[in-house]
Amino acid sequence: MPGLGGHDLAARLSVDHPGLPVLYVTGYTEQVEPVVAPAQLCLHLQKPFSGRALIAAASRLLATPT
């Protein structure tokens, strides 16, 4: 995303959609702590990940009540 990082995108979206769950996906080797609102649910997937891991993370985010 040229000119916009994942943290910035999540922050912008959460203004209009508070509590929007966020799934961060990164290829960085170090664990980056997402910056979200305290009540906002977020998960972090480290590349490479399996299809099962992606489905499990998305399912967990979607199943969590907001």
pLDDT reported for residue 48: 93
pLDDT reported for residue 53: 96
Domain for residue 1, yes or no? no
Domain for residue 44, yes or no? yes
pLDDT reported for residue 57: 93
24-33: b (≥16 Cβ within 10 Å) or e:
beeeeeeeee
Summarised one tens digit per residue, pLDDT across range 6-63 is: 888 888 888 898 888 989 888 876 655 555 555 568 888 999 999 999 999 999 998 8
> How many C-alpha atoms does 35 have within 13 Å on its Cβ side?
7
Domain for residue 32, yes or no? yes
pTM of the model: 0.72
Domain for residue 20, yes or no? yes
Domain for residue 18, yes or no? yes
The domain of 16 spans: 6-63
Please write down the long-range contacts of 21-26, taking CB distance under 8 Å and 24 or more positions apart. 21/61, 21/62, 21/64, 21/66, 22/61, 23/57, 23/58, 23/61, 25/49
Q: How many structural domains are present in the chain?
A: 1
